[in-house]
Structures are given as C-alpha cells and as structure tokens.
Amino acid sequence: MRRVGRFILSELYPSPSIFGGFRLLFLVVVLLMILGAIKGHSETMPPSAEWYADHPAVRERVVAACRDNPGAARRNDHCAAASQGNLIAAAREASARAPLDPFDNTPPSSPRYWAARPEARREFMEICRRAEPSWRARNNCRAAGYT
C-alpha cells in the first residue's frame, strides 16, 4: 500500500521530465479526451424526418411511444423527427390527391360528384347504410352508389 502511495505522490510532484512532472495528470487528461472522443463517436444520429416519412410503420411506433411519455419526448430527437415525418407524409399525401375544381358546381345527385370525392362518398355510404329507405330516396344515396 505504501508503494502505491509513494508512486502516486512521485507522479504528482514536479520532476525534470518532458511534461513538467505531472505525468499522471497528463495521462489522466489524455485518457479522458480519448474516452470523450469514443463516446461522442459512438452516439448515433437519429434518422431524418424524410426517413420517417418514408417508413410509416416505424414512424407510427415512435410517435405512439412519444405520446405515451411526453416528458422524455421533449428531449428526444427521434420524437421531433418522427413528428416532422408525419407532416411531410401528410403533405405528400395531400399533393398526390387530385385537387378539386373550386368552380365545379356538380350537385350531389350526380354520380360524378361522388366519384370526385371518394372520402366523402365513403362516409356518406355509411350514413346511407344506417338510414331508413325513405331518407335514402330523398338524399342521393343512389347517386353515391348505394343500392
């Protein structure tokens, strides 16, 4: 035990060496710098928002996990990238849909009206399915494709 104590003290006291006598201190600093470089190198960057937009299954799992733990989500880059990926995916989906003509005055009694609005048609078909036959006859269920 005394040898270890003498060794440490001899390393800390100045001596005429190239490092000014603080060899142990220098070695510790170098070791810490190496460990810091290794740790910084090993940290992986989270996938980009574009990547999350291209991978919807992963994006949904990450967004669900972030919703379940909102405190940690504020500090998590994956949560931010997945949320931005949701926005990018929604923008892509919206631009892929054919835009409706704002001057199209086709009435809901026309099948062309429902062909241009598939989401509204799907919802309306569900309403027609639950409605009474007299209501269906008055409210364009046949034009929407309900038989």
**Per-residue pLDDT tens over the stretch 114-146:** 988 888 999 999 999 999 999 998 998 999 888
Q: Estimate to the nearest angstrom the gap between the alpha carbon of 69 and the chain centroid.
A: 14
Backbone angle region of 20, left / alpha / beta, with phi > 0 → left and psi within -120 to 50 → alpha: left
> Which residue carries 């996938």 as its tokens?
47
Over 60: is that where the pLDDT of 43 sits? no
pLDDT of residue 15: 55
Residue 118 dihedral angles phi and psi, to the nearest 5°: -65, -35
What confidence tens digit (pLDDT) does each residue in 1-29 have?
Answer: 566 555 655 655 555 555 555 666 777 78
Per-residue confidence at 82, pLDDT binned at 50, 70, 90? very high
Is residue 124 assigned to a domain? Answer: yes
Separation CA 127–CA 133 (nearest Å): 12
Is residue 103 assigned to a domain? Answer: no
pTM reported for the whole predicted model: 0.43
What is the domain extent for residue 65?
49-96
Pair 67, 28 in one domain: no
CB within 8 Å of 92: residues ≥ 6 apart: 53
The total number of structural domains that make up the chain: 3
Is residue 105 assigned to a domain? Answer: no
Per the model's pLDDT, the better-predicted residue between 16 and 71 turns out to be 71
Is residue 127 assigned to a domain? Answer: yes
Is residue 104 assigned to a domain? Answer: no
Is residue 101 assigned to a domain? Answer: no
